[in-house]
């Protein structure tokens, strides 16, 4: 990485910090707090057993002393461990207009991390492509959040392919205690069923799918060469061919429907966020949905 590229990354980090701090403080901090439960329960006190209480919480030592059943009471543990699992594979660098998918992922990660920080929660980072590249254990502090942003923008994997499987396996073996995992990726990968199902069974998992409109609909612009940034495969196609465009639309629709079914099957909350759209309204909807579900 050249000095000029480092300087450019730091400039982008600074601009993103200003934007994300403001959004987290003014918009998302309160919604974040009401949307996500703590990862466990802390012992609080004892009280007399009442009909309908969980018998597994009876404390037999206190019961013997008081000659009456007593149970342990708990309070929710507010401190969360938030893990940002960010896909930095070759396809993340694509962006047809405003932002690349990598830049959108960095903005989303920054807002979530600053929101967590304002609420006293720890944030960790996993960068992955074809294999896990970097893991920062959850911790607190603005400097840590800034490093998270910098690492996402600066990542240069040797192997640019994508393996959601490898990322999920790493988290399952590394993060022992239940955490809140935001998986940020375009999810252009194979064999997602088992790894995502296993991850969601252990951790509260949210999928943020970053997409670019040009990847979803083939424009009619004549003969073009398409390049796969992860494998290097190239092909030349005539986009004026209506059958080709229809086939492409069908393929992308099937992929979207398939990944949506997978998320729903495993109880994974999910959003599709475009590099050319406003991601704030769907993020608000997700947080509010989780708040309503929690309070119902």
The model carries a pTM of: 0.83
Higher pLDDT, residue 40 or 231: 231
pLDDT at residue 37 is higher than 60: no
Q: Of the candidates 191, 233, 231, 182, which has an alpha carbon nearest to the alpha carbon of residue 209?
A: 182
Please tell me the distance from the alpha carbon of residue 179 to that of residue 181, in angstroms, as a whole number.
6
Reading the block at residue 91, the tokens are: 């396809």
Answer for the pair 34, 61: CB distance below 8 angstroms, yes or no. Answer: no
Answer for the pair 103, 8: CB distance below 8 angstroms, yes or no. Answer: no
Quick: pLDDT tens for 189-200.
888 999 999 999
Residue 20's H or E segment, with its range, is helix 3-23
Quick: pLDDT tens for 9-36.
788 888 888 888 888 888 787 788 778 7
Quick: pLDDT tens for 39-95.
455 566 777 877 666 677 788 888 888 888 888 766 555 578 999 999 999 999 999
Residue 137's pLDDT band (cuts 50, 70, 90): very high
Q: Provide φ and ψ at 229, rounded to 5°.
A: -70, -10
DSSP string, 115-177: HHHHTT-EEEEEEESSSEEEEEEEE-SHHHHHHHHHHHHH---SS----HHHHHHHHHHH--S
Residue 294's pLDDT band (cuts 50, 70, 90): confident
Cα 102 versus chain centre, distance: 13
Quick: pLDDT tens for 282-292.
999 998 888 88
Percentage of the chain lying above the pLDDT 70 cut: 92
What separation in angstroms does the CA of 6 have from each of 13, 39, 151, 155, 166?
A: 10, 37, 11, 12, 29
Domains of the chain, start order:
3-36+79-295 (3.40.50.410), 41-77 (no CATH)
Higher pLDDT, residue 285 or 294: 285
- Residue that the structure tokens 């254990």 belong to: 137
């Amino acid at each position: 990485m050249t000095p000029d590229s480092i300087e450019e990354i730091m400039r982008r980090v600074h601009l993103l910090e200003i934007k994300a701090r403001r959004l987290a403080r003014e918009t998302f901090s309160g919604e974040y707090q009401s949307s996500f439960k703590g990862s466990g329960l802390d012992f609080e006190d004892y009280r007399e057993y009442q009909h309908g209480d969980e018998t597994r919480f009876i404390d037999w030592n206190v019961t013997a002393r008081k000659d009456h059943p007593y149970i342990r009471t708990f309070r929710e543990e507010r401190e969360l461990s938030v893990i940002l699992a960010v896909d930095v594979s070759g396809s993340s660098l694509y962006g047809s207009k405003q932002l690349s998918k990598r830049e959108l992922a960095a903005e989303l990660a920054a807002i979530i991390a600053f929101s967590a920080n304002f609420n006293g929660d720890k944030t960790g980072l996993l960068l992955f492509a074809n294999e896990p590249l970097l893991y920062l254990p959850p911790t607190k502090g603005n400097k840590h959040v800034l490093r998270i942003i910098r690492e996402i923008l600066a990542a240069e994997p040797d192997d640019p392919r994508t393996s959601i499987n490898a990322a999920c396996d790493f988290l399952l073996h590394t993060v022992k205690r239940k955490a809140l995992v935001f998986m940020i990726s375009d999810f252009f990968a194979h064999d997602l069923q088992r790894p995502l199902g296993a991850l969601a069974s252990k951790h509260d998992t949210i999928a943020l799918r970053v997409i670019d409109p040009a990847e979803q609909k083939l424009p009619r612009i004549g003969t073009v060469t398409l390049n796969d940034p992860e494998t290097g495969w190239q092909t030349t196609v005539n986009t004026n061919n209506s059958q080709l465009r229809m086939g492409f639309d069908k393929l992308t629709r099937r992929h979207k429907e398939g990944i949506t079914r997978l998320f729903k099957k495993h109880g994974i909350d999910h959003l599709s966020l475009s590099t050319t759209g406003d991601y704030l309204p769907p993020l608000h909807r997700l947080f509010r949905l989780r708040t309503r579900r929690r309070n119902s």
